[in-house]
Amino acid sequence: MLSKTINSVIRLRQVAAGTEAAEIAEAALVLPIVFMLLFGIIWFGRAFNIYTTITYAAREGAQVAAQPTCATCGNTASSATNVANRVLQVLQASHIDTSSASLQQYTPAPAPVAGSCGTLGTSSSSGVTVYTNVLLNPPVTANKPQACGVLVTFQYKFQFYFPFTSLNNQAIYLKAEAPMQVEN
């Protein structure tokens, strides 16, 4: 009886020893796929983070463009440089690269409509474009009064680093635009 138990244990050890190589082979096949999936989640998460940040920066720029500079100065509109500086401040506070290669001009399609808001104005600074006298809610109906404002647009060049795929070193352009009603 004891010899049968010993033989069973020896046989069980031999079977268990034979599966170690299979487990290593399975891990060698599965782990790179798991790491690529996790790496992709990280990079797409970073792209989404940058997209939300540049959208926020565009809103901040639109807010600066929509507010008059000062009541004692004649309520003149902010310059494109002031708007671009505010956008750059928000991006720098979020540790996002603001080099000239990263921020580029972007023209929304369809183009902003001037309508009865006045002459459509466009000014640009540091890759940030500011449209003034934009009709924000076309078409105007009896139930919906006309709203005129500004539109701030730019695009950010995001570089993927995703090795062993077709996305490695691919650049995608994340577009940011923010309309804002002008304060009187």
123 φ/ψ angles, rounded to the nearest 5 degrees: -140, 155
- Domain membership flag for residue 135: yes
- Domain membership flag for residue 2: no
Mean pLDDT of the residues in the chain: 81
- pLDDT, residue 89, reads 92
- Domain membership flag for residue 26: no
Q: Show contacts of 148-151: CB within 8 Å, 24+ apart.
A: 148/115, 148/117, 148/118, 148/181, 148/182, 149/62, 149/66, 149/179, 149/180, 149/181, 149/182, 150/62, 150/65, 150/66, 150/179, 150/180, 150/182, 151/62, 151/108, 151/112, 151/177, 151/178, 151/179, 151/180
Domain that holds residue 63: 37-181
pTM check: above 0.75: yes
- Domain membership flag for residue 157: yes
pLDDT, tens digit, 9 for 90 and up, residues 36-94: 889 889 988 999 999 999 999 999 999 998 887 666 666 677 788 888 889 999 999 99
- Domain membership flag for residue 8: no
* More confident call, 134 vs 140: 134
- Domain membership flag for residue 28: no
The count of structural domains within the chain is: 1
DSSP secondary structure string for all residues of 100-147: TTTEE----SSPPP-GGG-S-EEEEETTEEEEEEEESSPSP-SSS---
Give the residues across from 129 on adjacent strands.
124, 153
H or E segment and range at residue 173: strand 171-181
- Domain membership flag for residue 32: no
Residue 177's SS3 state is strand
- Domain membership flag for residue 3: no
